[in-house]
Amino acid sequence: SNSNQREIWKVINGCIRDTGKRQNVKSVVDENSLLIDANEHPKKCANVFNDYFSSVGINLTKTICGSRDPGQQNCSNFDVRWSSFKQIRSEDIDRTIDTLKNGSSPGFDRITVEIMKKVKAFIVDPLKHLINIILKNGIFPSNYKKTIIIPIYKAGDHRNVSNYRPISLISNIGKIIEKIVKSQLTEYLDGNRIVNRNQFGFVQSFNTQDAISRLTSLLYSSLDSSNKCAGVFIDILYKT
């Protein structure tokens, strides 16, 4: 089951985890090859990380798609019309709060999951009112777009920002809004069969084992029919 897989990986990660990855950043090299001391210039150091992390997605998109608009390219064949988000009930907020994991780090507002669950009876209706306004007007509050970015060291030179990956800590209220929107979008995508049936990543109730099972099933079926099998495995490698 999924829960057993999580426990297995907790044990594996506990055995191989490099405790040095959680050490504070001492210095980084900026785009001009200048060494910046994090203790003396913490803001400059943070800006170097921010500039790098915010550029990765943009540069990767340009590398893959060139001048083409990836959104237009992938969605132009779908003749499905989105009407609007549905208004939510207090029960939806109540269930969503219960899905938040205890112990997760809070965002900029420092409101923890534990606090939200303790005062749930008092905040459900105000949150319902707020989120229904957001869904109706299509405007996500700027404050809930704010994140705390924690750079986690991977491997290589500690001074090279490309050797870090970002962890984003967002507001738990923002998480609730996102979960509500995700639920309605998922219902829309599934109902209109927009998501390919061979899509296993980021799809609820599917995982890598399902992908392996589908692949081996196709292979065995082909071999049983005396057909030849060939596989092409593609990974994307992004270099700065």
User: 85-119: per-residue pLDDT in tens?
Assistant: 889 999 999 999 999 999 888 999 999 999 999 99
Name residues whose C-beta falls within 8 Å of residue 229's C-beta, 6 or more positions apart in sequence. Answer: 219, 222, 223
Residue 128 has pLDDT above 90, yes or no: yes
pLDDT more than 90, % of the chain: 30
User: 25-37: per-residue pLDDT in tens?
Assistant: 888 888 888 898 8
pTM for the complete prediction?
Answer: 0.69
Residue 22 has pLDDT above 60, yes or no: no
Residue 157 has pLDDT above 60, yes or no: yes
User: Higher-confidence residue: 18 or 84?
Assistant: 84
Average model confidence (pLDDT) for the chain? 83
Report d(CA 67, CA 2) in Å as an integer: 40
What is the pLDDT at residue 233? 83
Residue 236 has pLDDT above 80, yes or no: no
Report d(CA 15, CA 158) in Å as an integer: 22
User: 179-214: per-residue pLDDT in tens?
Assistant: 999 999 888 888 888 888 888 888 888 888 888 898
Read off the tokens for 179.
């979960």
Closest CA to 141 of 104, 180, 171, 100: 171
